[in-house]
Amino acid sequence: MDSVELTDELIIELINQMANGLSLKSQLKLIGVEPFKFFDALNDRPDLEALYTRAQVARAELEVENIIDIADTEDDAQRARNRIDTRRWYAAKMRPQKYGDRIDLNINQTVDIGSALIEAKSRVLPQRDLNLIESPQRAESNEIIIDSTSDQQSDGAPQTHQDLKKSSDSIFD
């Protein structure tokens, strides 16, 4: 069946006919060439493969234009719907950036983090207070004194529980 040699000229002619709306499959069947032989020939010739890709784009554009003709001329509504849907699907697959489904990922939502900050404060302060307690006697008093040498030596470091609370409040405000 594959008696026809696929020359560059024949491949270009087949591609041009496809770009004009003819089915590549029917053209290959008419001249007696198996589709895999055609695609093997394209793989060996990158310039013709690029031409084939451009022809697919052109055919997709023609199919989109045919949708209007079908809608205007087809008497059977169900048949028209099927033909139109097929062409829309083909165009979406060949030109997804232009005819494919668009997904809108814009999210417009306001988030109030005030309650989360209040909750975070309530979790952080008790943990800090527990870490500052060195002995049970100090825990009983209202004022907890930090015994860390580095904290006592640094200027402006909180020295009491009230100082610590003030500094932690300023972190979250």
* Local confidence band at 39 (pLDDT 50, 70, 90 cut-offs): very high
| Domain around 19 | 8-99
Q: Is residue 109 part of a domain?
A: no
In this predicted structure, the answer to whether residue 161 has a pLDDT above a threshold of 70 is no
Q: In percent, how much of the chain has pLDDT > 90? A: 32
Same domain for 93 and 119, yes or no, is no
* Local confidence band at 162 (pLDDT 50, 70, 90 cut-offs): low
Same domain for 135 and 72, yes or no, is no
Same domain for 82 and 149, yes or no, is no
Of all helices (H) and strands (E), which one includes residue 159? none
What pLDDT score does 111 carry?
79
Beta-carbon contacts of residue 56 (< 8 Å; ≥ 6 apart): 18, 94
Asked if 94 and 56 count as a contact pair (C-beta separation under 8 A), the reply is: yes
Q: In percent, how much of the chain has pLDDT > 70? A: 69
Q: How far apart are CA 2 and CA 90, in angstroms?
A: 29
User: Looking at 76, 99, 122, which one is the last position of a domain?
Assistant: 99
Same domain for 87 and 148, yes or no, is no
Same domain for 155 and 85, yes or no, is no
Q: How far apart are CA 103 and CA 32, in angstroms?
A: 43
What pLDDT score does 121 carry?
79
Same domain for 118 and 95, yes or no, is no
Q: pTM of whole model > 0.95?
A: no
What pLDDT score does 135 carry?
47
Beta-carbon contacts of residue 46 (< 8 Å; ≥ 6 apart): none
Express each pLDDT in 97-138 by its tens digit: 888 887 767 777 887 888 888 888 777 765 555 555 544 454
What pLDDT score does 80 carry?
94
What pLDDT score does 108 carry?
79
CA distances from 18 to 6, 52, 137, 144, 160 (A): 16, 9, 92, 86, 85
Q: Where do we find the tokens 């024949």?
A: 10
Same domain for 95 and 118, yes or no, is no
In this predicted structure, the answer to whether residue 3 has a pLDDT above a threshold of 80 is no
Domain count, the chain: 2
Same domain for 74 and 142, yes or no, is no
| Mean pLDDT value across residues 67-85 | 93
What pLDDT score does 126 carry?
58
Same domain for 76 and 22, yes or no, is yes
What pLDDT score does 153 carry?
47
What pLDDT score does 127 carry?
54
Question: By C-alpha distance, which of 1, 37, 26 is closest to 11?
Answer: 37
